Amino acid sequence: MELTHDEIKAIERYLDSKNLTHVDLRVEVVDHISESIGEAMQSQKVDFDTAFQNEISKWHTDLGEYSSYWLGLLWVGPRIVINKCVKRVKVIYLKTVLFAFAITGLFFLATDVIAIEALRALEVFVGSLYLLLFAVLLFFKYRIKGTGFQTSFSFLFNINAIAFSFMFVLYNPFWTVFMSLLQDSALNLVSVWMHAFTLAFSFFFLEFYNSHMATNKQVLI
């Protein structure tokens, strides 16, 4: 049974009360709840309010407030949103950590053949790249905000962009000694790992941005 416009609005108001404002998931949940309510009204011969209340009880856990240490316990949202973001972040962390260890291992094996001048040049490159990435994050943030809505992708972008913006500026090897690739004229493998991790993770901001903007196009259609 197809629901009326007012009945759909009632579902949307309920999702508003649960802070499910992330369009990519909200559309799916509205469709799922609407379909379930319509089926219940037809098969069980109940009115909308009864079917709606029964459906709400099923979504109580998935739409309840939740946080995860994978994202940071301060970031709270509907469980369905947090779980989707955690699932993606785990994959990203695995890839970036493995990449960072691989790069660090290569530098370790090549320690004796890497010239100090080459490391200093690499520091300049990394420092410049950090400043460029900082500018790119600001541009992406501006474009995402301009869409006027949220998605799980913009949520992931925002919570990670804060930390990485600080890293691009405060941990920049241009002016931060402890992030230098050289320590007492020797290769600093800890810094190599940190820079490799930071740069690898940075590429996923493009994924978050593109996914959010793709959702934007779907909404416009």
Residue 69 is assigned to a structural domain of this protein:
no
Coil vs helix vs strand at 136: helix
Residue 68 is assigned to a structural domain of this protein:
no
Domain check: are 135 and 173 in the same one? Answer: yes
Domain check: are 99 and 23 in the same one? Answer: no
In sequence order, the 6+-apart residues with CB closer than 8 A to the CB of 156 are: 85, 88, 89, 208
Domain check: are 182 and 125 in the same one? Answer: yes
* pLDDT-flagged residues of the chain (< 70): 216-221
Domain check: are 103 and 38 in the same one? Answer: no
Which residue segment(s) compose the domain that 46 sits in?
5-63
Domain check: are 125 and 41 in the same one? Answer: no
Residue 70 is assigned to a structural domain of this protein:
no
Residue 72 is assigned to a structural domain of this protein:
no
CA–CA dist 64, 35 (Å, integer): 21
Domain check: are 83 and 59 in the same one? Answer: no
Domain check: are 124 and 39 in the same one? Answer: no
Nearest to 96 by CA among 6, 205, 18, 181: 205
Domain check: are 149 and 57 in the same one? Answer: no
Q: Which two tokens stand for residue 12?
A: 């949307």
Residue 154 is assigned to a structural domain of this protein:
yes
The tokens 């909308």 sit on which residue?
A: 48
Judge if pTM exceeds 0.85.
yes
Domain check: are 58 and 118 in the same one? Answer: no
Residue 74 is assigned to a structural domain of this protein:
no
Residue 124 is assigned to a structural domain of this protein:
yes
Domain check: are 156 and 216 in the same one? Answer: yes
Alpha helices, H only, 45-188: 48-59, 79-109, 116-146, 152-170
Domain check: are 199 and 103 in the same one? Answer: yes
At 49, the amino acid letter reads D
Domain check: are 39 and 113 in the same one? Answer: no
Residue 71 is assigned to a structural domain of this protein:
no
Total domains in the fold of the chain: 2
The pLDDT assigned to 219 comes to 59
